[in-house]
Amino acid sequence: MEHFLFRLFMQSLLFSSLLLCASATNVTRDRNVVGDSLVSKRDLIRLTREIEAIYQFGDSLSDTGNYIREVNGEESTYSRLPYGQSYHPTGRASDGLIMVDYIAMFFHLPLLSPYLAKGSDFRHGANFAVIGATANGKYNSLARQLVWFKYHLMTTYHNSMAIKRQLQKSLVLMGEIGGNDFNGPFNQGKSIKEVAKLVPGVVQTIKNAIEEVIKLGATNIVVPGNFPIGCVPLYLAKFATNDKSKYDKLGCLKDYNNFAKSYNIKLIQAIKQLQQKHPDVAIVYGDYYSALIWVIANARQLGIEQDETTKACCGYGYNPYNFGTTGCGSPGSPICRDPSKRISWDGIHLTQQGYKGVGDQLLEQFVPVLEKQIRRRLRKPIR
């Protein structure tokens, strides 16, 4: 009964938020609850009141418009149709909304404005993610996003105590970041063994960034891992093989999924170390991997065509994954009839329906953990 009530409540919150945001998708579905730690409806309502802002770091999985406001992104395909066709063109790498949008809706907050959209209302948070960003690197690295974050806080709240008060009632989404640190080398032909050498440095950078936001006052942090990249059309098309033993039952490349699993394990280890060091801070792992696997395995429940789970909607390719010949947004590039029936939008990023499915799963993972931590903090005596 608790599982049933929790599922109904999560869906009702998302649905009511969608009504407030008329341009968002109104697809609803039944699904099993992820995680064992369930909380009451009253506690969940309190959590939505405790979180008054969201701050997002990351790459193209999270960018709501920063990239198209940079010089090299102003004329990119992300700034125009067909990107945004299910919502409107905003710079999101999808046909519509993305995961952070559904997270904001759950907390009854406005959709996050990109940090580079000067003059926006940032009272309820800001998005620092940029398409193409890396954890380590020169272009829009996590370090650069942290500089933006600190400057934004200092110019908005003016002193450290005001910043701390703001962050204590905020949710910090630390990524996903790091995927592009691996995508680049893989695309250049590096082996899994070679790319694996980059993992410790990426994990350490993310760990250091978490430490920095904690020092500023953050107490609610979600740290996403990597997707099962072996299920992504980009990887499936590039590393296709006739060796059927290389594929799992979902049609994904085992070796590249194992790489993602290995990275995620190391990231979880770093999170556990931070949890021990900062017991009063809720630092929660966001399991992108299992969330997307769930969506692929349960595609039919979401109205997605079961035989099209690894096929891109936008663009064209002479392969079963419809990727690699003509990029999405290029002149003459085709678009599938109904993006809501696909998981992959352009072979790299998800459709709005795919992101909603993953976002819902993530909420069911981390919301109970956050609520439990906040409840414990509120019960501690003030010294």
What ranges in the chain are assigned the alpha helix state H? 2-20, 41-50, 99-106, 142-157, 160-168, 179-187, 192-196, 199-216, 233-238, 254-277, 288-297, 352-379
Q: How far apart are CA 115 and CA 63, in angstroms?
A: 10
Structure tokens belonging to residue 254: 């085992």
Residue 94 near residue 352 (C-beta atoms within 8 A): yes
Residue 58: which of 120, 135, 152, 5 has the closest Cα?
Answer: 135
Residue 72: what pLDDT? Answer: 86
Whole-prediction pTM value? 0.89
Residue 219: what pLDDT? Answer: 96
CA 313 to chain centroid: 20
Residue 40: what pLDDT? Answer: 60
Polymer length of the chain: 383
Residue 371: what pLDDT? Answer: 85
Residue 289 near residue 261 (C-beta atoms within 8 A): yes
Residue 175 near residue 203 (C-beta atoms within 8 A): no
Please give the average pLDDT of every successive group of 10 residues along the chain, which has 383 residues: 44 42 36 38 71 97 98 92 97 98 96 97 97 93 98 95 96 97 97 98 98 98 98 98 98 98 98 96 96 98 94 97 96 96 98 97 91 76 49
Q: How far apart are CA 119 and CA 117, in angstroms?
A: 6
- The catalytic residue positions are 60, 346, 349
Residue 105 near residue 44 (C-beta atoms within 8 A): no
Q: Which residues contact 40 (CB under 8 A, 6 or more apart)?
A: none
